[in-house]
Each structure stands twice: as structure tokens, then as C-alpha cells.
Chains A and B, each alone.
Chain A
Amino acid sequence: MLSTRVIACLDVHNGRTVKGINFINLKDAGDPVEQAKQYSIIGADEICFLDISATNEKRKTMFDVISKTAEVCFVPLTVGGGVNNLSDFRELLNSGADKISINSSAVYNPDLIRQSSDKFGNQCVVLAIDAIANNEMPCGYEVTTHGGRKKTNIDVLKWAKQGEKNGAGEILLTSMNSDGTKKGYDLKLTKLISKNVSVPVIASGGAGSPKDMVEVVLEAGASAVLAASIFHYGIHSINSVKKEMLKSGIQIRDCEY
């Protein structure tokens, strides 16, 4: 039976891992290569690198970090941040990334989803959507870019459906209202999107406890859960999340074998 994935996300800035509340006040929390390796050993089902400053500073993600990680980390590796065109895709994939997540660049160049999925296959294109609650939008959520700072006037549900149609293989859905709060995922948002698209939806933003992760799977139908800070500072472990999921009847991967 397919396991619900637990994904550890590392926010990377200048080759170092960081995670700040609502993406502000970044704290340095270590070496991404070493951390990714540790996460893969203790049972993370995937590793996700987000170069959070890449879009702002128009800086490319660190190919070096990715290739070093891919040498020691034998679970899927998703990389995002500052991916603007097909040559960025190619360079990241050649460095050892398995999937590429695109966010702002897809908003400003919607054709990038189609081009990249045609070229590299939809299995490697993850559409990352940073959603913020806005009652003026038909679905109640608006797409934002640049870490939530720029509004786009695009409806999240419409954007998710369009992304799927254009060939995104997965949607990484982050609630910008919940992100960094540790008060739980946005269940309404996650359910809305996962009910209405046929590709897997990864819930992100707001995880504060293993129970939050169980809740977003059982109540909102998430295919996978992603978290950063709660794993990072050792508040909760991948193992404690998986134990809680198992107790609630959610199939997980036990990497003890």
C-alpha cells in the first residue's frame, strides 16, 4: 500500500540551512548536505531544498550543494527557488535533483510548466503555490510570489487546475497565513485543492506537531506532508510523526528494514 510521504524541507541561503518565522528573521541552522543525509537516514521519504532568497536576489541555487547531497542521499530530492527557465531545470537535474519546484517563475511565465514537463516529464515538475486567504478571490485564496510579499490577483484553485493541465506532476501547497505559526496546516485550503486536482497535493505551512500532520491527511486528503522547522530544531522527529500517523491508521514507510 502506498505510504503517505513525510517530506523534510530545508530552506537554504548562501549554502546554509535557515528557517525563519514567516520567512523573516532567518536563523542559521546548519549544513544542508549533512542535514539532508541525516534526514534520509532517519526516515524522511523525500528531501526538499528551497533556496528562499533565490528569487529576491535573482541568484541561482547552489548546484554544488545539490550534487554533494545527491552523492550521499538516496531518497528523492526536490529543489526549488530561482528556477526561471529550461536551462535552470537542466542544470539542477544534472546536478542530481529529481524534481524541480517552480513558483514565482511559473506565475510570470505560465508556459514554463508546459515547456518543462514536455522536456523533462511531468514527474519532475512540482508546482509550488504560496496561497494567502483573500475573500475577494472566487475560491477564497490568492496566489502570492516572492515569499508571500507580492500579490498576483490569481485565484489559487484556478491556478492549481491550470498547472495540472499544463503538466505539473505534483502541487506543493503552502498556506502563507499558517506558515511559521506552528498552529497546524490550513485544512480548508488543502482540502479545496486536493479535492479538485487529480495530481498529488503536498501540504505545507504551519506544522507544529505530529497531530497536525495526521489531521491534514485524514481531514484534508493530503498525499504528503512537508515541514521544516519542527524537524529542524528537534521539536519533533520524523519518527514521532510517522508513529502518530501509524497510530491513526495512515500507512507510512518504515525504513528499519
Chain B
Amino acid sequence: MNLVIIDYGSGNLKSVENAFKNAVAVNNLKFRIKVTNSLKMISEADHLVLPGVGSFPDCKKGLKRIVGLFDLLTYEVLNKKKKFLGICVGMQLMVNYSLEKKRTSGFGWLNGYFKKIKKDGLDYLGRDYKIPHIGWNNLNIKDKMHPIFKDISEKEQYYFVHSYALESKNTNEILANTIYSQKIPAIIGKDNYIGVQFHPEKSGCSGQKFIYNWLKWKP
């Protein structure tokens, strides 16, 4: 299987590559992993991973800078039904738009938009809710039968770092939530594509398990 991690000038590509390579090696999986922005390699790949750190508008700009990439991804994911994973801003790009800095449209594969996390009230220790939401948090899993949650317990935690959260009317597209001042969609998806607000590549053993499940997943 060929897996491409899409390099569009944004994202902690090295960390994502390291974590996927480790999951492949440890589990004896047969994957060839490439980090590239070549449209040819992307269209020849079996699986696609879109990382993303920084702001939504900057990531969108980075995608658009590579001529043809934005539309190719929609074609590969919606028409050719390639398995896809969006990470952090890569996940945010999967919905209609974000309000970060200025209203910017995404791919629109899933319903909703991103708006700043509310920080009303105090946490359980009487501390203010700090933004960004940085650190390890639990998943409230909605569909425990979904193969990407195999052997993953709600007691496990994943590493989040973000200031914007998804607002969506299509609750069936939300696979797991996390709680920080408000309910925050942590995993979204449909058919062959999934997006995670957290960083599986930085989530220790739990992240490795998630990456393994995603690699094994046959949508």
C-alpha cells in the first residue's frame, strides 16, 4: 500500500512521518510512506494523510499554492473514495468554513464551521479556561463499534492543541467528542474520510493505536 503524507508547507511533517513509520514498523504492516506534494504521487497513492498546524487561512493558502492540489484532493477522496485522514487543521479543512482570522472556506466534505472555543466559567479546580486548549484529553466515543476505536478506551487521552472548535448540525458525522469548557468534536468523518482534532502522532501509545487502527481500517 502507498501512503502519502501531503506536504503543502504546513504541518509538523517530520513528526507525522515518524509516527506513521513507527506504527508500520512495529506492527509489520506493508506500507510505503512518502511525504510529497507531487500531484502524480497523490493520485497514485492508496491512502492520504493531510497534516496541518498554524492558522486555517494559512493552511488553505498553502494548499492553494500548489496548483491543482485542492481540487485533486476532493476528487481523490469523494470520487475515487481514497481513505483519508485529516489531522488538526487538516481536519478543520474538511468542513465548510472557519471563522479563524477571517471567514475562509474548506473542502466542504462535511457539514459545519469552526469558531473560537468559548471559555465561560472556571474548570473543576477553579482555574480559568485557557485558550488554546493545550494538553491531553479524553474521547467520548459515540460509535464504539467503528473499527478505528478498536482497543481504545475512553480512559485514554489524546494530545490536543487548538483554539477553534467545530459547530455542526450533522451529529452523525461526529464520531467522538472531547470536553473543554464546551463539547468539542474530536473525531469527525463519513464513508472513507476521517478527521481528528487532536494529534495522533504526538499522543504516545494511544496515538500509535489510533494510527494502527486507521491504517488497518477498510472503509
Contact = CB atoms under 8 A, between A and B. Distances in A.
Report the interface size class on chain A: 35 or more
A22 interface: no
Given A75-B204, A249-B125, A3 B135 contact: yes
Interface residues of B, number: 47
Interface string A161-202: 000000001100000000000000000000000110011110
Interface in B52-82: 53-55, 58
Interface of A: 1-5, 40, 45, 67, 70-71, 74-76, 93-96, 98, 119-124, 169-170, 194-195, 198-201, 217-218, 221, 223-224, 249-251, 253-255, 257
Given A121-B54, A255-B205, A257-B206, A200 B134 contact: yes
Most buried by B among A1, A122, A123: A123
A1 B14 contact: no
Q: Is the interface of B mostly helix, strand, loop or mixed?
A: mixed
B136 A253 contact: yes
Nearest to A169: B132
A223 B127 CA distance: 8
B138 interface: yes
A3 B124 CA distance: 11
25 contacts: A1-B138, A1-B179, A2-B123, A2-B135, A2-B137, A3-B135, A3-B136, A5-B136, A70-B14, A70-B18, A74-B22, A74-B203, A75-B203, A96-B18, A121-B53, A121-B58, A123-B161, A170-B134, A194-B127, A198-B128, A200-B135, A217-B125, A221-B128, A224-B135, A255-B205
A182 to B, nearest CB: 24
Interface stretch (B91-99, B152-160, B166-174, B185-193): B152-160
Given A3-B135, A257-B156, A98 B130 contact: no
